[in-house]
Structure 1
Amino acid sequence: MTRPALPAGFLRLPVTHRALHDRAQGRTENSPAAIRAAVAAGYAIEVDVQLSADGVAMVFHDDDLDRLTAERGPVCARTAADLGQMELTGGTDTIPTLGAVLGMVAGRVPLLIEIKDQTGAMGETDGRLEAAVAQALAGYGGEVAVMSFNPHAVAQMARLAPDVARGLTTSAFDPDDWAPVPAEVCDHLREIPDFDRVGATFISHQDNDLTRPRVLALRAAGVPVLCWTIRTPEQEAMARRYAANVTFEGYLSALPA
């Protein structure tokens, strides 16, 4: 299995969580305005993707539209055209496709794409979202990587886009925080047993769980450990004792000189 290394830019530039969003400035999370701001500032960018009803990868975090738009219901029940007309709350942007975001970034900064779980329980996926991501990435020349909490999604990306760096988004997987994911699945995922099976080359781990022995062992073995989500400079200083880089929001992480 091909295991592409995480591009160097992801270890050099702090990563904006859902792009450089700021509601006070009219930049909603994962919005074109937030993406343009991150590119202009010179930060790496993390975005999330969900699947439209007609099989297009959309840059949007939640399963449902309720929190971030005036619409209601699941993202996957709407077509890309419908989603592309929905205004994001807190700004004037609408929901972009992954292809549109790739065009905005155009290789100027690294782009980290989190593939959201489509099963509700971290189960086997049908591969539709992963195929849409792979299709959008075909021919893209910039620094890019994909990741997911669902190892099955990462395994699909290994099959569909073997030359794209891939990793696992990981956490303490407290079952109280992860319902309706079954507790036994949380117990399985917590120790990151699928890292080699899916051909991962990095993880992005929950910031307050970075001293977990499995995470420290991966780090000691040379695996790049990113972390999420840092919200203050003080948290960043603590996280960088264990993590190679941070995913941040709510303040401006210091860029390298």
Structure 2
Amino acid sequence: MTPRLPDAFLGAPLAHRALHDVTDGRPENSRAAIRAAIAHGYGIEIDLQLSADNQAMVFHDYALDRLAKGTGPIRIVPAGTLTKTPLKGGDEGIPTLTEVLEIVAGQVPLLIEIKDQDGAMGDVIGPLEQATADALTGYTGPVAMMSFNPHSVARMADLCPDIPRGIVTSAYAEGDWPLNQTTRDHLRDIPDYDRVGASFISHEVADLARARVADLKAQGANILCWTVRSPAQEAQARKVAQNITFEGYLAPHPG
């Protein structure tokens, strides 16, 4: 049976890359941003990349340059070095998934995005999914997993069959993605939803009016969205989405 998204994920808004604000010393996906989200009672969305020694690191980009005081691909650096590599705008290193799970400890729902490691949304995957599953062993808080890459979601179905899983979806507009047209056209139609045993999607907020989103919702899929950046955008998004992933403001809690 396909595991359903717990109700907790449809309540409090989800802080995108945790409740980050570098002007307050809280970089994206940092421990400080995670603690701030918990303090505000928000759910948390985080990203995972792989270290050189196959550890799941909580970090969005494929390269260190934008977010951390380092250069080059995160994939070629061991976890022990990454945890000591300061994040820009804060005073902490890059956390591991294990560290984040210890901080969250079931206090709020945690939505984990596994970043595509194939480079073309293909099936050259595995180590990051395994590292994620290993870290999640024994975790009992509300947690769900998702990826843009359906192959990654399918792998997580094998590794963690009881944890809800979803697909991150998009309009896949030309110029926005380093993917060929055939791949973009395939992914845009979300054809893998049933195959991977998904129970939700997190869809690009500007594309929520797409007919395929409405079809999935009518079939019982939970609809989340990314990334809401204003109250006005949130009001529009909630006409379709059951919850939002937000950043740049403090989203109100449901009344």
Task: Give the TM interval when normalised to the shorter protein.
Answer: over 0.9
Question: What secondary structure sits across from 2:175 in the alignment?
Answer: helix
Letter in 1 for 2:58: V
Residue 12 (structure 2) aligns with: 13
Matched, 1:130 2:129: yes
Matched, 1:76 2:67: no
Q: Deviations over 1:31-66 (max 9, x none)?
A: 000000001110000000000010100000000001
Shift of 1:126: 2.9
Unaligned runs of 5+ in 2: none
Question: What secondary structure sits across from 1:158 in the alignment?
Answer: helix
Give the distance between the partners of 1:35 and 1:125, measured in 2 at CA.
30
2:201 to 196, 200, 203: 203
Superposed, 1:89-238 pairs within 5 Å as 89-179=88-178, 181-238=179-236
Superposed, 1:30-109 pairs within 5 Å as 30-109=29-108
Letter in 1 for 2:194: D
Q: Deviations over 1:182-211 (max 9, x none)?
A: 111000000100000000000000001001
Letter in 1 for 2:245: T
Question: What secondary structure sits across from 2:234 in the alignment?
Answer: helix
Give the distance between the partners of 1:194 and 1:28, measured in 2 at CA.
33
Letter in 1 for 2:226: W
Letter in 1 for 2:131: A
Shift of 1:174: 1.2
Size of the aligned set, in residue pairs, is 255
State, as a whole percentage, how many aligned pairs show the same letter. 59
Question: What secondary structure sits across from 1:68 in the alignment?
Answer: coil
Shift of 1:175: 2.8
Matched, 1:245 2:221: no
RMSD: 0.7
